[in-house]
Structures are given as structure tokens and as C-alpha cells.
Chain A
Amino acid sequence: MTVQQMDAPRLITTRPLLIAQGVSKSYGSVKALQDVSATVYPGEVLGIVGESGSGKSTFLRSLNLEETPDSGSYTLDLPDVQGNLFDLDRFARRMLCATKIGIVYQNPHLGLLMKHSSSGNVAERLLVAGERRFAVLREKAREALDASEFPLSRMDAPPVELSGGMQQRVQLAKAIALEPALLLLDEPTTGLDVSVQALVLDTLKRLQQERKITMVIVSHDLGVIRTLADRVMVMKGGRVVEAGLADQVFQDPQHAYTQQLVHAKL
């Protein structure tokens, strides 16, 4: 949220689902994140754009509690979730991420067990949450894979035998299997063929519309963000340089860097 947004007049008083404030993180002398703040409302899609090294992925990993920033706060407005999530211990983080937050990584190896079955990858989420009925595991895995438009005839094939697009669908199915409150997407279509990319984006768009899943999506591809995001945050050198409605940021960028980024698009 930009300064303009902080004191903006309000009409509807929904509470934000996610509030991150003043998040900073350094690796030695490299400042990966500098005072990054973001607010996401329920059902909204926040897109984060920026070039490699802009800190966008570090910020996303912080939201998945994989990184512990040096300072800043992060809250989620959910039942039984209180306080600054950066202060949680390892166990509490694991339980929160296992049940409330889903993530899709650019690299499927980070999110999947490549040699287990695809359905098993999805079932693992449910197992961690305590489901102990085999038939239910099977059915829920099937539903999630189906919702991700994964061909069910291959549901027991291991991801290592699948194409990149299919691997992303398995990751997506795993991420949505427990109906997460927040879905994080880290370059979900980068590295896929353009046609496959469009199909995966389409699945994401449909899931977003049908299930009203709150999403934060990171991509260096403006097309991806334009297709999915309601609002956009532009990052550079670990800072947020501009934030606003997606069409406004793309059509009327205010910051010099954003203008350069938008105009550089083919």
C-alpha cells in the first residue's frame, strides 16, 4: 500500500486478510528487502513484478515463513492466527503453512516429491492435516487434481515422468487441496512453453474466480500479472517503487522505473 492508500477515504470496511509492514532483510551487506509493506484483502490477487534480484521472491518466501526478516511484521486475519507471524517458532510456522498457506514454486523440485505419485503429493498435505482415511485421501486428491485440470488418468504417475506444465498443475492441486486462505505463486509459469503458460494461467484465473482464493503472485512477466492481478506492486532493489490497481500501474505508471518496465514490454 502506498502512502496515498494509507489515508485513502474508505467506503467498504472489509478487513485485510494479509498485512505485512516494514519488512526488511539483509544477507550480509546485500539488502534484499527494505521496508516492504503490502496489504491484501480477501479474494484479491496481488501481483508483484520486478526484475531478478528485486527482492520479490524473497518477499514471497517471507510470506510463506521460509525466511525470517530482520525486522517487520506480518499478520493474517484468520481464526486462531494471532500476532506477528515472523515471531512464530518452527513448529507453529510449519502447522500454519501446512494448513492455511499454499505455495507453487517456479521449480517443481522445491514443491514436489518427484518420485512419489502425483496423487500422493497432494495427499501429503491432507495427511499432515490429520486425514487418516485412505478413501477420503484418494477422493480429495482426485478433486484437487481435477480442479487444477490435471488428467486424472495419470494421477498416480510420479511428477518426474510429467511435463513441466503438468508438474505445475500437481503443485497447484497440492496447494489448493486444503482450501488455503492464501495462495502464493512464485513465477508459476516461468520456463513453460507459451501455449502451456496460457493454459496454466487460465486454470489459475478460473480457480480465482470460482473459489475466490486470495493470491499473491510473483512474476517478472508483466503479461502474467496483467492477466491475474487486481493490484500490482512494483519492486526494485528490495524496495516497493509503486503500487496500485493493475490497469492503472500498467496504463499510467508514475515511477520512472515502472514506465521503463511497462514500455520495455514487447
Chain B
Amino acid sequence: MTRILDVRGLSKGFEMHHLGAQMQAFSDISLTLDAGEFLLLKGRNGAGKSTLLRTLYRSYLAQSGQILFHSSHGVIDLARAADVDVTFLRRTEIGFVTQFLTARPRVSAEALVAEPLRLAGHGAADALEQARHWLAAFGVKQALWAAYPTTFSGGEQQKVNLARALILPQRLLMLDEPTASLDASARAALIDRLADLKAQGTAMIGVFHHPGDVAQLIDREIDLTPDAPQMEDRTDVVV
């Protein structure tokens, strides 16, 4: 198995200057992730699941520990990597799927979805064709493809968001409750796409409100609840 991620002794807390207080989110987390592996983060509310994902993505700065990412260019500690490298990796190798779409005014749904491909160097026509394919796959009505998603309902926006986030196969994919507010058919399309990416070797680490949605994808899980057993090997147990 190809190692993708090697997290060692990672801790994150927030210093809240106006309160003069420090809030610890999680401490001393270690985990590994291989290519094609799907790791589920679980734990009770406030255990730091989303925080861990964002720390791995460098939206949050780790306080201590290492996030060794095995990129196609070599191993780098994401906790300390230069901003420019993180930007580059986010554009090419590390994806992050949330339940929120950041739509921009006057950018059509299909252009928004095609954007990651364009930025990765695909031709405009090819990118647009793939974008339409994925919009269709996630159940966005064709009439809406050229419309501006700023006007869409929450559910439709989420479909556009998923199409955009998953259009470009990444080396590492982080999923922050992507199934929330999805209808059944879109959820099925999502799981198909994730299974597909997983088979292509994308390593995934995710937080799910209803882990049952993705049960067949899960290889291992970690419980972030303090005092919970650190890591369990995935068994074919329903979570």
C-alpha cells in the first residue's frame, strides 16, 4: 500500500484573546492513511472531528505535531509547509468537500464546476463537457447548468458543490459531512463517485452525520471522543 498521510502527535487548540482563554480541540492525534483507504472520523459533538479535517487542510494551524503528506513531488509536513506549496497542493492533490458552496456572482453552475479542471490545465471544452456530466450525475436539472447558483436552493447548491469538489481526482480527499441535506438520488450518486475515486486510489478521510450512508466504503475509523479507544480496525460492523 502507498502511504498518503502520516499524522504524528497532532494537537490543536484555539487561543481566544478576547476571553484570555485557551480551548483545546484535540491533542496528540496520530494516524496513517494509505492510497485507496477510507478513514471515518467519529466522536461526539465537539470532539474535534471537523477541526481535525481543517487542521489537516491547513485552514487551521496546528499547534504541535506533524502532518506528513506523501505528495507526488515528495513528502512534506503540511503543518509547517510554505503557503505557496499548500496552495499548489490544494489545487492539484488535496481536495476538501464541505456542505457549503461558495458561489460567486455571475459565474454559471457549469463554469463553477469546470473551474478545478481549468486550473489544473484542462482545455475549456473538455472541462465544460466533464462539468456537465457531473452536474447530470448529481441530478442538477439541465435547465440550471448555465444559471447562477447564487439563486439556487440549498439542496441544488450542494449538488453543484459536490460536482465541483469531486470532478478532479485527488490524491487525498477530506469530506466534511457532504451528505447533509442531500436527497436520496444525489446521495447515491455521491457514494458511487466516492467508490469510484477510492478505486482509483484516492485516500479519504471524512466526517459523516450518518456514517451508515457510506458504510460500504469505510475501511477504518477513529473515535476522537476523549478516552475512547484510539483506533479500531475496520470490521464489517455497521457503525
Among the listed A11, A12, A202, A248, which residue makes an inter-chain contact with B61, where contact means beta carbons less than 8 Å apart? A248
Q: Is the beta-carbon distance between B81 and A11 smaller than 8 angstroms?
A: yes
CA separation between A201 and B107, bound complex, in Å? Answer: 12
Among the listed A5, A244, A259, which residue makes an inter-chain contact with B17, where contact means beta carbons less than 8 Å apart? A259
Chain B residues with CB below 8 A from A201, complex form: 105
Assuming the contacts A11-B85, A12-B73, A256-B17, asked whether A202 and B105 have C-beta atoms less than 8 A apart, the reply is: yes
Q: Check: A245 CB closer than 8 A to any chain B CB.
A: yes
List CB contacts (< 8 Å) of B1-45 with chain A.
Answer: 14-18
Q: Check: A252 CB closer than 8 A to any chain B CB.
A: yes
Q: Check: A198 CB closer than 8 A to any chain B CB.
A: yes
Among the listed B18, B61, B83, B87, which residue makes an inter-chain contact with A252, where contact means beta carbons less than 8 Å apart? B61
Residues 49-66 of chain B, each 1 if its beta carbon lies under 8 Å from chain A, else 0:
000001000111100000
Q: Check: A4 CB closer than 8 A to any chain B CB.
A: yes
Most interface-central of B18, B83, B88 (chain A CB within 10 A):
B83
Chain A residues with CB below 8 A from B89, complex form: 11
Q: Check: A9 CB closer than 8 A to any chain B CB.
A: yes
Q: Is the beta-carbon distance between B83 and A245 smaller than 8 angstroms?
A: yes
Q: Is the beta-carbon distance between B60 and A251 smaller than 8 angstroms?
A: yes
Among the listed B18, B59, B105, which residue makes an inter-chain contact with A248, where contact means beta carbons less than 8 Å apart? B59
Chain B residues with CB below 8 A from A256, complex form: 17-18
Assuming the contacts A12-B73, A209-B118, A209-B119, asked whether A252 and B60 have C-beta atoms less than 8 A apart, the reply is: yes
CA separation between A81 and B17, bound complex, in Å? Answer: 44
Q: Check: A29 CB closer than 8 A to any chain B CB.
A: no
Chain B residues with CB below 8 A from A231, complex form: 83, 87
Q: Check: B71 CB closer than 8 A to any chain A CB.
A: yes
Residues of A in contact with B, size category: 20 to 34
Residues 36-73 of chain A, each 1 if its beta carbon lies under 8 Å from chain B, else 0:
00000100100000000000000000000000000000
Q: Is the beta-carbon distance between B77 and A247 smaller than 8 angstroms?
A: no
Among the listed A5, A230, A255, which residue makes an inter-chain contact with B87, where contact means beta carbons less than 8 Å apart? A230
Q: Is the beta-carbon distance between A245 and B107 smaller than 8 angstroms?
A: no
Q: Is the beta-carbon distance between A12 and B81 smaller than 8 angstroms?
A: no
Q: Check: A14 CB closer than 8 A to any chain B CB.
A: yes
Q: Check: A100 CB closer than 8 A to any chain B CB.
A: no
Q: Check: A153 CB closer than 8 A to any chain B CB.
A: no
CA separation between A205 and B89, bound complex, in Å? Answer: 20
List CB contacts (< 8 Å) of A1-15 with chain B.
Answer: 4-5, 8-12, 14
Q: Is the beta-carbon distance between A12 and B84 smaller than 8 angstroms?
A: yes
CA separation between A199 and B104, bound complex, in Å? Answer: 10
Min CB–CB distance B85 → chain A (angstroms): 4
Chain B residues with CB below 8 A from A251, complex form: 54, 59-60
Q: Is the beta-carbon distance between B104 and A259 smaller than 8 angstroms?
A: no
Q: Check: A254 CB closer than 8 A to any chain B CB.
A: yes
CA separation between A171 and B214, bound complex, in Å? Answer: 52
Among the listed B18, B81, B106, B115, which residue makes an inter-chain contact with A202, where contact means beta carbons less than 8 Å apart? B106
Min CB–CB distance A259 → chain B (angstroms): 5
Min CB–CB distance A209 → chain B (angstroms): 7
Chain A residues with CB below 8 A from B118, complex form: 209
Chain B residues with CB below 8 A from A259, complex form: 16-18
In the complex, the chain B residue whose C-beta lies closest to that of A16 is: B84
Q: Is the beta-carbon distance between A11 and B105 smaller than 8 angstroms?
A: no
A interface residues with partner B (beta carbon < 8 Å): 4-5, 8-12, 14, 41, 44, 198-199, 201-202, 205, 209, 227, 230-231, 244-245, 247-248, 251-252, 254-256, 259-260, 263
**Pairs A-B, 4 closest by C-beta atoms:** A256-B17, A8-B82, A252-B60, A11-B85
A-B residue pairs in contact (CB < 8 Å), sample of 5: A202-B106, A227-B104, A252-B54, A259-B18, A263-B18
